[in-house]
Structure 1
Amino acid sequence: MKILTCPMNGPRNINEFQCFGPVKNDPDPATTSDADWARHLFRVDNSRGVITEWWRHVPSNYFFLAERNATTNEVIRTFTPQDAEARP
């Protein structure tokens, strides 16, 4: 059984979570074409290495971030969005 640590609920079975994909920076809507918006919304980078993703603990509906190695599928750490804003 794979365990994921929720910042609010602690270690839980991975089946209690849903992944919402990598964190992306939104482009400027005033200068972005429709084609570029579609590419931003629907294309996945599929990159190797460490990525930061949005996750949700389904029973509590709590959203948080997780750093995960996309190559090994190892979760490095989980943290709240507020913790991400506090990092330099």
Structure 2
Amino acid sequence: MKLIPCPKVGTRPASEFVYGGLWRPMPDPDSTTDMAWSHYVFHRDGAPGVQREWWCHAPTGMWFVAERDTLKDEFLRTLTVAEAMKDLAHG
């Protein structure tokens, strides 16, 4: 059975989770250019490797960010949204 680490409830069966897509910080809609907004909406990096993704623990409704190696299909770490935003701010 595949297990996924949740930052709220710990490691749980994969059947309890819903994949939400690639995690990418949204540009400020009030100050971004049309070109930058278009790139955010339509361009995705589908290359295999380590990516950050949105995941939801369905029973609790908690959304979180997971770093996952898509080539190996391994979860490397999970972060709350606040932790992911803080990590982004610190580069």
TM-score where L is the length of structure 2 = 0.78
Distance 2:85 2:67 in 1: 14
Q: What corresponds to 2:22 in structure 1?
A: 22
Q: What corresponds to 2:49 in structure 1?
A: 49
Q: What corresponds to 1:68 in structure 2?
A: 68
TM-score where L is the length of structure 1 = 0.80
Aligned-pair RMSD on alpha carbons? 2.0
Instruction: Call closer, same or farther: CA 1:12–1:38 in 2, change over 3 Å.
Output: same
Q: What's the secondary structure of 1:86's corresponding residue?
A: helix
Return the letter of the residue paired with 1:47: A
Give the paired residue count.
87
Q: What corresponds to 1:5 in structure 2?
A: 5
- Unmatched tracts of structure 2, length 5 or more: none
- Unmatched tracts of structure 1, length 5 or more: none
- Identity across aligned pairs (percent)? 38
